Every structure is written in structure tokens, then in C-alpha cells.
Amino acid sequence: MKINCLSKSLTVLIGMLVLAACSSQPALQEPSPTDELSGPIVGPRWNLLLVGTNERLSLPESAHFVIARDGSVSGSDGCNQLRGQVRLGERQRIEFQDFATTRRSCPEAEDAERVREMLETAYRFLIDHDRLVFFGPDQRVLGGFRRAS
């Protein structure tokens, strides 16, 4: 039942994003030393919910990330700690870049790599209540996160 509701929510979110994506490509801006990033994606911890539209991963630790006001990103891919930068643009445009990770051995290394790839491939995002969905450049759903309470 929960997956059905989530699938319906993702379908609505995808429709909203496709409508917003029909206009020209928004520019990305990096924060200058005097500017700070703001918006609902900045500040809270986002915990991995799904990869794609319905796949849940079982990882040794919770995959998550936090975007700071200075544009830095920190978190975990479920096995390794990660750090990087993010650029945000108009109409929910996003680009994660310059990721560096620890290199711990992990039996679920392939799933952790999928989490990193999702972040690195993210092109747009959409937030609905406590859910954050990432979309690729082709408008395909890459996965979803839930805001930590």
C-alpha cells in the first residue's frame, strides 16, 4: 500500500516537472563568498528512500546528504562518507560536483555506488512535503529521499 501511494506521488511529481521543463534551460549559479544558498533543499538532512521509482536498498548505514548554505554537501552513500559541492539554479535545477569519498570496504559497494551515481547524475529536483525526488537530464526518476525529522 505504501509503495502504491509513493508511486502515485512520483507520477504526479513527474508530471509537474515535465511541465516545468518545457521552457528554456535554467542557468546554474555557484554561490559567491558573500551569497548563500537558500531554499527548502538547503539545511535539512535527506535520507535515502528509493532508487528509481520503487527500489529500496539495504545498506550498512543510512545513505543521506546535507546541503549547507555555502554550497558544500556532506553525507554518506551508505558505506562511505562523501563531501562535495552543489550548484542550484532556477526551476529546481541542481548539479552535484567534486565528490570525494572515503574508501572503506563494504559488501554492498555496488549499491553505494548507485547512490553516488544518482547524486552525480541529478539534473532537477522536486520537493513535495517531506519527499525529495531527483530527475536525470532525460526526465527519468533517479530516486527519492525523505527529510529527516
- In tens, the pLDDT along 38-73 reads 999 999 999 999 999 888 888 888 999 999 999 999
Domains in the chain with CATH codes: 2-147 (2.40.128.270)
Percent of the chain with pLDDT over 70: 77
Host H or E run for residue 8: helix 2-21
pLDDT at residue number 4: 53
pLDDT band, residue 8 (cuts 50/70/90):
low
Host H or E run for residue 81: strand 81-89
Instruction: Give the global pTM.
Output: 0.77
Look at residue 18 and tell me whether its pLDDT is greater than 80: no
Place of cell 511529481: 13
Question: pLDDT tens digits for 122-136?
Answer: 999 999 999 999 999
pLDDT at residue number 115: 94
**Residue environment code for 44-67, b if the CB has 16+ CB neighbours within 10 A, otherwise e:** bbbbbbbbebeeebebeeebbbeb
Distance CA 10, CA 22 (A): 18
pLDDT band, residue 20 (cuts 50/70/90):
very low
Host H or E run for residue 74: strand 72-76
What is the 3-class SS of 82-145, one letter each residue? EEEEEEEEHHHEEEEEEEEECCCCCCCHHHHHHHHHHHHHCCEEEEECCEEEEECCCCCEEEEE
Question: pLDDT tens digits for 69-93?
Answer: 999 999 999 999 999 999 999 999 9
pLDDT at residue number 28: 54
Distance CA 79, CA 61 (A): 6
- From residue 147, alpha-carbon distances to 45, 64, 65 in Å are 6, 10, 10
Residue 32 DSSP one-character state = P
